[in-house]
Amino acid sequence: MNLLVFGATGGTGRALVRQALAQGHVVTAFVRDPAKVKTTHANLRIARGNILDYDSVEAAVKNQDAVVSALGVRPKVGLVVLVIIACQILARTAGLSGPLMWLVRIGIPLLALLLAQKKTTTLSEGTKNIVRAMETLGVRRFICESSLGVGDSKGQLGFLYNYILIPLFIRSMFADKEVQETVVRKSSLDWVIVRPGALTNGPPTGKYHSWLGAPDVSIRRKISRPDVADFMLRQLGESADLGKTPALSY
């Protein structure tokens, strides 16, 4: 199968490329910087482009049998936390007082949180280009990675994500994923939206749960990127989850 992978240099994307090549697919990795592709293989092709540039997306989609998207946006959680900690240390050690102390202890951290919540549309706009190109060229099968906690899976990521990370740090990213899913749902493609739990760099296990709606078993709310890639590639030859949004975790 001729398979196009978006987000090929991310954690899940790299796993998708490796596993798809091992399964005998001819893989095209869509990337902004070809130097970031470390995998080499006779069946690997590189398509340089930007998901926000429709022409480069359409050129990559041409002659493909299926498309897999592992697009993601890196949240700046670590940077924001670092700024908050640094401000608290500075306020204590520098002997600040009055308005300057409140600026450093509260004002700057609040500004950092606001900047972290700056609206982003990269995922949804890029996915619009992918869907448009696929519909134009008649490529039907689309497997798209989203996240647990989006759509009707809200609240399933656990306390840390539900009450701290999402509302304080990654709300805009999840809002973009909501729009991204809507774009895919409204398309005429044969699509599957995969919603993994918190992603880890653990090894592939082949032992994970997938479900629709609420999980019927106790889940750990996390899963390794290689296992997500395994499930996504399985959807290329299966039809049970077409037009559905299976969640995924251990």
The model carries a pTM of 0.84
Are residues 89 and 147 located together in one domain of the fold?
no
- The reported pLDDT for the residue numbered 109 is 67
- Per residue in 38-74, pLDDT (tens digit) is 999 999 999 999 999 999 999 999 999 999 999 987 7
Are residues 69 and 94 located together in one domain of the fold?
no
- DSSP string computed for 72-121: -----HHHHHHHHHHHHHHHHHTT--HHHHHIIIIIHHHHHHHHHT----
How many residues would you count in the chain?
250
Query: Can you give the CATH number for the domain in which 171 is found?
Result: 3.40.50.720
Going by C-alpha positions, the residue among 60, 74, 62, 65 that lies closest to residue 6 is 60
Domain count, the chain: 2
Are residues 160 and 102 located together in one domain of the fold?
no
Q: Which domain holds residue 92?
A: 77-115
| Residue 121 in tokens | 């549309």
- Per residue in 134-178, pLDDT (tens digit) is 999 999 999 999 999 999 999 888 888 887 777 777 788 899 999
Going by C-alpha positions, the residue among 232, 237, 239 that lies closest to residue 17 is 232
